[in-house]
Structure 1
Amino acid sequence: MRIGRLDDGGVTRLTLHGELDLDTGDLVEEQVTGALRDRPESLVLDLEGLTFCDSAGIDVLLLSREAVRRAGARFRVTRPRGIVLRSLEVTGLLEILTSDREPAGGRP
């Protein structure tokens, strides 16, 4: 797992490359926590380079979303593709993670 970071104004973008699973989830959580120390208005996780995401990885995405929202920032996942896109679709999480709006009925 490689993670790139780009800060542009109030937006921090973390680009994930490789596999997001039980072995690499801690690295993503560390990067999200580090990014939040700089108090961005919005944090974006770019998943275009992610080639695999298991249930532990999905949990990391949801926990990241919660951490960012608790910090008062917006959160959004962008550009999932392939098996990662399919995993988010079948779990019903694609719209929740790719929108920075609060879902109807409150948080999932």
Structure 2
Amino acid sequence: MSGLRVTTRELGDFHVVALDGELDLGTTTRLRDAVDGLALRDGDHVVVDLTAVTFCDSTGVSALIAARRHADAAGCPLVLAGTPPHITRLLRVVGLLPVFPAHATVEEATRAPIPPVP
């Protein structure tokens, strides 16, 4: 049975959603619920920390897209941090790598220039 732990924290204007475990059909609602539950305000940013994600399937990618759309609707940029090679490869294969700005760490993501919201 797969498991995913989702924790959220705020670092100033940044809402960090950290994932630990498998992002798949059985767990994507945890990510969706966490992002939907963020109290996003104009000027905020969302960082999804994937450092501890051990597996991601197509439903996991769909959940990341939904998170991006939710953040975009609030006018808040969403970036990824700590993206493991297997997820980077998956995003590249499905053509979504350019859609998700990525940084090596959460700290780097909070210091980097802010991407525009489409």
Between the aligned residues of both structures, percent identity stands at: 30
Question: Which AA in structure 2 matches 1:21?
Answer: D
Aligned-residue Cα RMSD (Å) equals: 1.7
Quote how far apart the aligned CAs of 1:101 are.
3.6
CA deviations 1:24-57 (Å, max 9, x no partner) are 011100000111x253610110111111110011
Q: Which residue of 1 aligns with 2:79?
A: 76
Question: Which AA in structure 1 matches 2:79?
Answer: R
* 1:25 counterpart (25, 28, 32): 28
In structure 2, list runs of 5 or more residues that go unmatched. Answer: 103-114
The SS at the match of 1:44 is: strand
Query: Are 2:73 and 1:45 equivalent residues in the alignment?
Result: no
Q: Which residue of 1 aligns with 2:59?
A: 56
Question: Which AA in structure 1 matches 2:91?
Answer: L
Q: Is the contact between residue 68 and residue 75 of structure 1 (CA under 8 Å) also seen in structure 2?
A: yes
CA deviations 1:43-78 (Å, max 9, x no partner) are 110111111110011000001101111011111112
In structure 1, list runs of 5 or more residues that go unmatched. Answer: none
Following TM superposition, where does structure 1 have runs of at least 4 consecutive aligned residues deviating by more than 3 angstroms?
99-102
What is the TM-score of this pair, normalised by structure 2? Answer: 0.78
Q: Which residue of 1 aligns with 2:95?
A: 92
Question: Which AA in structure 2 matches 1:15?
Answer: A
What is the TM-score of this pair, normalised by structure 1? Answer: 0.85
Q: Is the contact between residue 22 and residue 56 of structure 1 (CA under 8 Å) also seen in structure 2?
A: yes
> Number of residues paired by the alignment?
102
Q: Which residue of 2 aligns with 1:67?
A: 70
Query: Are 2:26 and 1:9 equivalent residues in the alignment?
Result: no
